[in-house]
Amino acid sequence: MATINLTRAVARDLRAADPARRGGLRRRLRRNATAYLFLAGAVLCFAVFSWYPMIREVIMSFQYTNFAGDTKWVGLRNYQRVLHDPDFWSAWRTTGLFTLFALVVGYAVPFALAVVLNEIRHARSYFRLLVYLPVMMPPVAAAFLWKWFYTPDDSGLFNAVLHAVGLPGVQWLQSSHTLAVLCLVLFSTWINMGGTVLVYLASLQGIPGELYEAAELDGAGLLRRVWHVTVPQTRLILSMMLLLQIVGTMQVFLEPYIITGSANDTTSVVYLIYQYAFNYDNYGSAAALGVLLLLVLIAFAGGYLWLSRRAEEE
Amino acid sequence: MSAFVTPTRTLISQAQLARPLGRTVYWTVFWVLTALFALAFLFPLYWMVSGGFKTPQQIIQTPPSLLPTSPAPGNFATAWRDMDLGRLILNTTLYAGGALAFQLVFDVAAAYALSKLRPVFGNGVLFAMLATLMIPTTVIVLPAYLTANDLPFTHWSLLNTPWAIWLPSVANAFNVFLLKRFFDSIPTELLAAAAIDGAGPLRTLWSVVLPMSRPILGVVSIFAVVGVWKDFLWPLLVLTDTSTQTVNVGINQLHVGVPENVFVAALAIASVPTIVFFLFFQRNIMAGLTAGAMKG
């Protein structure tokens, strides 16, 4: 691409010739028609697979429907049914616990790791490559792999490791709800952290060295430099990743679906939507639960958009 | 990328690292991390591959052995044949390739129209697209499935056809947003110059805009391909016929009744294509990932 140098006058002439600004009704009509022709494919796909399903979801939540297609308006009865289902609260408890553990493990660990990795001056590509490897595995294959690692008898990898250091084996997924959810979070962190670590690393590299220099001259020790320079400088990315992660973990499905099944009450909210729809053929309850989940997520997503707009302004 | 040389100082100064104590601490941390990474990210993969080589007795033996003592490479052949892995991988590649093509054509055209042709209500369309970022696909998965099963007006069913993956993949607001932002940065004067030379919008897009947009096209392409390889819930619903399934769905569907050692071999085979893809394109993938995150 040749660099094009334009004098100011020529630039002004050209701006006047910009097809988007040139007048004439017929010309403008033609330009709009062309533009909408370019837009048509994407708009159609959005309409059929995003906008229409969204509206339909809300409508369905007030109806009784099933696969056979019988439809009846039932008002708020789906919502009542969902709210009185003991599985509903159990699913929210699991999802909430998953989100909480994911904050402790999946949020703090990648950031701490990125801060340490940023200080490493050798074999940097080795670390980047390895941490990103699990991200590139088909998630179902990785989930089954971990399910196998969690084998409750001593032939399982994790129990074999415990055994080797003289500790008794653990019933990872079967013993308690809390431990089972923690096991899911460990897997989830393992497979997802590559992306977050790389994003943090990129933002850490954007911190001007003079800030550390100045802090050090002022007598700030290592931890204070982390707290007063690193964290504030990456604050925006940190808060964006936080919201993204909360919204993401609230939608957890694959982990409980593959690794624990519905055993030990580890059904998550999205998994419960799936069960309502495809195991019980109850589309109305599935839609109502979807709307409820959406309301919760919108609060977080709204925060995310607000933050990214602020990031744009800076 | 300048990532491999750090001329600017980071948290710890060069001077501090040069001191004997600093050097000892640095190398200790370095080797501990190196070992930890190998243990956390390489060892599970090794365990998977070696598990695939084990005999049925060996894979349930306690304690498990680090090496397969009498390797059974036949497991991989059995897994390939019994779970029809070749077909699953081929299917997924086909879906990923098609999704990539459809996204490149439709999303690029849409982003170009919104950025440069600027029709009336263009901003409204953009807003409606961006609004879908707030609505996760998992939430509307049931009505989307019902719609794909019975399209409005035509009453066609896309279930068990590649269209069920390709067309919904176009409704990707994040990609439209990334592309539009990039096109916005291309000076309008350049397009006007092309218009004066008599180029129509399509010609301008093809000969002026696209050649300048290689980096962002790379990012969007990688997102498109990786997205199809990683998706599970949507293909689980729309690809019910085993002959049309993706790797993720197929493994989930076919694992019942397969012996443990053969299944572990199948997991290893299933992981090969994406990992090889990653090793090939690692630079682009990592650069694209951070660029996408920064701009998102």
What are all long-range contacts of A224-233, with beta carbons under 8 Å and residues at least 24 apart? A225/B11, A226/A115, A226/B11, A229/B11, A230/A115, A230/A204, A230/B11, A233/A203, A233/A206, A233/A207
User: Which A residues 208-247 touch B at CB under 8 Å?
Assistant: 208-209, 212-213, 216, 222, 225-226, 229-230, 237, 247
A12 touches chain B (CB under 8 A): no
pLDDT at position A2 is: 36
Task: State whether B11 and A163 contact (CB < 8 Å).
Answer: no
Q: List the single residue in B110, B267, B277 with the smallest CB-CB distance to A38.
A: B110
Q: Mind listing the pLDDT tens digit for each residue in A224-262?
A: 998 999 988 888 888 888 888 888 899 999 999 999 986
Helix (H, G, I), strand (E, B) or coil at A155: coil
Average pLDDT over residues B157-165: 95
pLDDT at position B136 is: 79
Task: State whether B125 and A20 contact (CB < 8 Å).
Answer: no
Nearest to B212 by CA among A35, A2, A42, A34: A2
CA dist., res. A177 & res. A97, Å (int) = 10
For residue B191, what is the enclosing H or E element? helix B188-196
Task: State whether A42 and B129 contact (CB < 8 Å).
Answer: yes
pLDDT band at B292 (very low <50, low <70, confident <90, very high): low
Quote the distance between the C-alpha of residue B1 and its chain's center: 22
B216 pLDDT above the threshold of 80: yes
pLDDT at position A6 is: 42
Q: List the single residue in A50, A132, A140 with the smallest CB-CB distance to B132.
A: A50
- Report the chain A residue with the minimal C-alpha distance to residue B28: A120
Contacts of A202 (CB under 8 A, 6+ apart): B290, B293, B294
Task: State whether A138 and B8 contact (CB < 8 Å).
Answer: no
CA dist., res. A116 & res. A201, Å (int) = 10
Nearest to A271 by CA among A292, A286, A288: A286
CA dihedral A183→A186→A192→A197, nearest 10 degrees, is 170
pLDDT band at B78 (very low <50, low <70, confident <90, very high): very high
Task: State whether A145 and B120 contact (CB < 8 Å).
Answer: no
Quote the distance between the C-alpha of residue A60 and its chain's center: 26
Q: List the single residue in A6, A198, A213 with the smallest CB-CB distance to B9.
A: A213
Q: Mind listing the pLDDT tens digit for each residue in B25-39?
A: 999 999 999 999 999
B2 pLDDT above the threshold of 60: no
User: Which A residues 72-111 touch B at CB under 8 Å?
Assistant: none
Buried b or exposed e, range B231-252, using 16+ CB within 10 angstroms: bbbbbbbbbeeeebbbbbbbbb
Q: List the single residue in A142, A160, A283 with the smallest CB-CB distance to B142.
A: A283
pLDDT at position B63 is: 82
Q: Nearest-5° angle of CA A111, CA A300, CA B180?
A: 85
- Report the chain A residue with the minimal C-alpha distance to residue B167: A45
Mean pLDDT in runs of 10 for chain A (314 residues)? 46 54 76 90 95 94 82 90 92 94 89 92 91 94 95 88 87 89 95 90 88 88 89 85 86 93 84 92 92 87 73 67
Find chain B residues with C-beta within 8 A of A116's C-beta.
29, 33
pLDDT at position A22 is: 55
pTM of the model: 0.88
pLDDT at position B139 is: 87
Task: State whether A54 and B33 contact (CB < 8 Å).
Answer: no
Task: State whether A119 and B10 contact (CB < 8 Å).
Answer: yes
- Report the chain A residue with the minimal C-alpha distance to residue B268: A141
Find chain A residues with C-beta within 8 A of B255's C-beta.
144
Q: CA of A124 to nearest chain B CA: how many angstroms apart?
A: 7
A136 touches chain B (CB under 8 A): yes
For residue A64, what is the enclosing H or E element? strand A63-65
